[in-house]
Amino acid sequence: MRLIPHNELEREQHDSFEWRALGIDPQFLLEPSLGRWLPGWRMLELTIEHDQACATARVFLDRGQGFTEAESLCLRLSSGQAGKRVMFLPASLKVLRFDPLESEGRFTLKRLRLVWLTPRFARDRLLGRLLRVHPDWRGKTKSLVLAQLKQRARAQDIHWRNLALEHYNATFDHRTVQENYKDWLEERAHITDTRARAAAAQIRHRPLISIILPVYNPRIEWLRECLDSALEQSYAHWQICIADDHSSDPAVRDLIADYAARDPRITYVFRESNGHVCAASNSALELARGEFIALLDHDDRLHPHALLHVAEALQSNPQAGLLYSDEDKINAQGQRFDPHFKPDWNPDLLLAQNYISHLGVYRTDIVQEVGGFRRGFEGAQDHDLALRVAARLRSDQIVHIPYVLYHWRAGEGSTALDSNQKDYTARAGLAAVREAATAQAPGAEVEAENFPNSYRVRWPLPCPGPLVSLLIPTRDRVEILKPCVDAILSRTEYPNFEVLILDNQSCCTETLSYMASIAKRDPRVRVLQWDHAFNYSAINNFGARAARGDILGLINNDIEPINAGWLKEMVRQAIRPEIGCVGAKLYYPNDTIQHGGVILGLGGVAGHSHKYFARGAAGYFYRLKLAHNVSAVTAACLLVRKSVFEEVGGLDEENLPVAFNDVDFCLKVREAGYRNIWTPYAELYHHESISRGSDDTPAKRARAKAEVTYMRRTWGQALDNDPAYNPNLTLAHEDFSLR
């Protein structure tokens, strides 16, 4: 086919790119070599080098009615990344259009092909992706998916292929929070009043929930909306405890008194002097008669079914002492935006930021036991309370409700609009985190991060630090191995480590010479021979048995440290008794993210968080800049105590010789009761899978399929419900976009 520039495109002159997109709608028309498009299945193969962080390319199909978004297919690609997807050309097709970017920029088309497919091959690829990615079809067989698609298509009186393509195309859609949250909300099923009453009737224990509402000079219309959102709750067993902190605007008191006169569940106290938010919150707490308290700010709003969801969660989790929900923001026009879809209980993330925030619900007696809201922590009083209450609870007593139940007002002067507007909140938060961290580990140091209300904990190291054994499997390829080993030896600040090069039948004389010379020159290096067929799990288990260190480091031979403190940071984490596996921040050589932690369920089994994000990107709610707990990390750079490695039996040699052995290992560690953690303060380059190559032969593809099957059979639904992620976020992309 031939590309014909059609709109907002020009050839580049004297540049590394061939084309420049002049606007947000660059277009090529595709002209078929046979003069017309023949109907049938195709594989779209596309590779674009571009100057964007990530780019979405689209193919539009015109059946004679013009081009529409509904008749388009997308592929989201980083620069140089090869992408493929199945598509079907209908008999009515008139014109094909190709849009390489959705913004101004420069690019080169390295590959653009439409390859003929047999119907059987196309169907197999389509069903395979539905099984891996689409939430409706996870864990099923291809034959079952096909049968159900045909059954649904008959019910809708359409061809099954059209329904299958609709589901398949949805797995490529990229629904960004900024652009698509409004549409996403409209697609969510709304709870009707009838259904809400029925749900409330099913709740056996109906605890009274006291809403703690400190008030000081809010905008009257916002306070009215706030109170109305409480009055409109579908769950009726609540109490509002208002403490007006000596507002100077008499209209505030008048409004409070008016609402209290309308509903006996509203109680209030007018403080005689201004004491700030902690004092006011404690005054409101004194009014609370409920078994639980819920925290509400005077200009925010609750979702109409917020307390109903809380009561339902308590029905399922009667042991809960702290519950929290997802949240979003609401602007002056009443429009909702910027949703925060949170993970389940994530203690290290709570030290880094107050991710619990709104809606926070606490068992009242525990709040009273810890002393309520502490003066001196104004601005971070919620963070301080969450840390102190969580310290009293088991992990199963902290419950996340994955629904947006709280709308945080983003008005002028609001922390929701700009966290930097209240610097004192960061100072108070720093003090709260420092106290919490030192209670866990005396000697821990805490410092403010360069992001609003975010913190870094430096966990203490013994002196001397434990010996770390870095295990590096390799075979030939000295051009990869040498930069890796030399960089570790020269760029590692932590002094007490050994390097075990695990040689898997190298025959290259240059490689053998290098290994012999480096082992002779540097006493920290040993070369061990593994004279068996490649098996990543077996090689590392062999190295672990030979290791002298108390801590093991699984290191790929294509890793290069960037910051000298990488190993010290990982050891600080690995020696914590509650921590299992520790992962690092890995970059591709082009300075985009390769690994920001592993998310279970991506692509069917697992994938890497924030893949292809720019090196300086903050990530989803600063997740790329903060240490936090994850379900798994890549063994390309993983630290774990040797005792933990041995406790769970090491890596699975029999079932997972190549892929997913690290995910399986991390899940075994988590199952044994340890927390896995990812840290952004250990940074390394990763030239991913250069030495092993890709799964491009029938034998390799069969092995890869067997490993996927084993992971699905072994871990089942755990792969589709990552507690460190959120069920409202996509399993088709690595970028925290909407599901």
| 422 has pLDDT over 70 | no
Task: Please count the other Cβ atoms lying within 10 Å of the Cβ belonging to residue 498.
Answer: 18
* pLDDT over threshold 90, residue 54: no
Return d(Cα 14, Cα 57) in angstroms, integer: 25
Does 178 score more than 70 pLDDT? no
Bridge-based pairing of strands 209-215 and 238-244 is: parallel
Give the pLDDT of residue 516: 96
DSSP string, 514-581: HHHHHHHH-TTEEEEE--SS--HHHHHHHHHHH--SSEEEEE-TTEEE-STTHHHHHHHHHTSTTEEE
Rounded to 5°, angle at Cα 499 from 496 and 504? 165
Query: What is the tens place of the pLDDT at every residue in 285-325?
Result: 999 999 999 999 999 999 999 999 999 999 999 999 999 99
- Residues of CATH 2.60.120.430 domain(s) within the chain? 2-117
Q: Strand 209-215 and strand 606-608: pairing? A: unpaired
pLDDT of residue 1: 84
- Highest average pLDDT, of 145-159, 169-183, 200-214, 254-268, comes from 254-268
The arrangement of strands across the sheet holding 55-62 comes to: 2-7, 27-31, 95-99, 55-62, 72-77
Q: Say yes or no to pLDDT of 492 above 60.
A: yes
Read off the pLDDT band of 479 (50, 70, 90). Answer: very high
Quick one: pLDDT at residue 237?
95
Q: Are strands 559-561 and 209-215 parallel, antiparallel or unpaired?
A: unpaired
Nearest Cα to 389, choosing from 255, 246, 293? 293
Three-state DSSP at 433 gives helix
Token pair 């090529």 is at which residue?
Answer: 28
Of these ranges, 127-136, 613-622, 638-647, the one predicted with the greatest mean pLDDT is 638-647
Residue 415 has pLDDT above 50, yes or no: no
Average pLDDT of the chain is 91
Concatenated DSSP letters of 113-140: EEEE--HHHHHHHHHHHHHHH-TTTTT-
Residue 354 clears pLDDT 50, i.e. is over it: yes
Helix then strand then coil, in percent of the chain rounded to 5, is 35, 25, 40
Q: What end-to-end distance do the CA atoms of the chain give, in Å?
A: 35
Contact present, 9 and 27 (Cβ < 8 Å):
yes
Range 557-561 average pLDDT:
95
Whether the CB-CB separation of 78 and 54 falls below 8 Å is answered with yes
**For residue 136, pLDDT beyond 50:** yes
Three-class SS state of 702:
helix
Please determine, for residue 473, whether its predicted confidence score (pLDDT) is greater than 90: yes
* 177 pLDDT tier (thresholds 50, 70, 90): low
The pLDDT of residue 550 is above 50: yes
- Determine the average pLDDT of the residues in 23-48: 91
69: Cβ contacts below 8 Å, ≥ 6 apart:
none
Nearest one of 31, 32, 82, 33 to 57, comparing CA atoms: 82
Comparing 52-61, 91-100, 222-231, the range with the smallest average pLDDT is: 52-61
The DSSP result for 232-277, as a single string, is T-S---EEEEEEE---S-HHHHHHHHHHHHH-TTEEEEE-SS--HH
Mean pLDDT calculated for residue range 387-415: 89
- pLDDT on residue 696: 54
Tell me what pLDDT residue 4 has.
93
All CATH 3.90.550.10 domain ranges of the chain, comma separated, are: 205-418, 468-720
At 345 the three-state DSSP class reads coil
pLDDT surpassing 50 at residue 418: no
Amino acid at 591: D
CA distance 84 to 86: 7
Pair 306, 407: CB distance under 8 Å: no
189 pLDDT more than 80: no
pLDDT at 419: 44
**Lowest mean per-residue pLDDT among 157-161, 389-393, 697-701:** 697-701
Q: Are 681 and 457 within 8 A, CB to CB?
A: no
- pLDDT of residue 420 exceeding 50, the answer is no
pLDDT value for 604: 81
Average pLDDT over residues 97-114: 92
pLDDT at residue 693, as a whole number: 45
Residue 24: the pLDDT is 86
Mean pLDDT for 581-595 is 92
- What is residue 737's predicted lDDT score, i.e. its pLDDT? 80
pLDDT at position 412, please?
61
Q: Residue 29 phi/psi, 5° resolution?
A: -95, 140
**Of 23-37, 253-267, 673-687, minimum mean pLDDT range:** 23-37
Predicted confidence at residue 459, as pLDDT, reads: 98
Q: Which of 281, 300, 403, 260 is nearest to 342 (CA)?
A: 403
Measured between alpha carbons, how far is 595 from 587 in angstroms, rounded to an integer?
Answer: 7
Q: Is the pLDDT of residue 355 over 90?
A: yes
The pLDDT value recorded for residue 414 is 52
pLDDT at 196: 82
CA 610, CA 619: separation in Å to the nearest integer? Answer: 7
Whether residue 438 is predicted with pLDDT greater than 60 in this model: the reply is yes
> What is the model's pLDDT at position 691?
40
Q: What is the pLDDT of residue 326?
A: 97
Mean pLDDT of 24-44: 91
Instruction: Give yes or no for residue 221 having a pLDDT over 60.
Output: yes
Buried b (16+ CB within 10 A) or exposed e, 457-466: bebeeeeebb
Which of 226-235, 521-530, 655-664, 724-733 comes out lowest in average pLDDT?
A: 724-733
- Of the two residues 70 and 691, the one the predictor is more confident about is 70
- Quickly state the pLDDT bin for 411 (edges 50, 70, 90): low
2-117: CATH architecture: Sandwich (2.60)
What pLDDT score was predicted for residue 380? 94
pLDDT > 70 in the chain, percent: 95
Higher pLDDT, 648 or 178: 648
According to the model, what pLDDT value does residue 176 have?
A: 58
468-720 carries CATH number 3.90.550.10: yes
Q: Quote the pTM value.
A: 0.83
Quick one: pLDDT at residue 416? 47
For 153-172, b/e burial (b = at least 16 CB within 10 A) is beeeeeebbebbbebbbbbb
* Residue 690 banded pLDDT, cuts 50, 70, 90: very low
pLDDT at 417: 43
- State the SS3 of 578-611: CEEEEEEEEECCCCEEEECCEEECHHHCEEECCC
Q: Which CATH superfamily is domain 205-418 in?
A: Spore Coat Polysaccharide Biosynthesis Protein SpsA; Chain A (3.90.550.10)
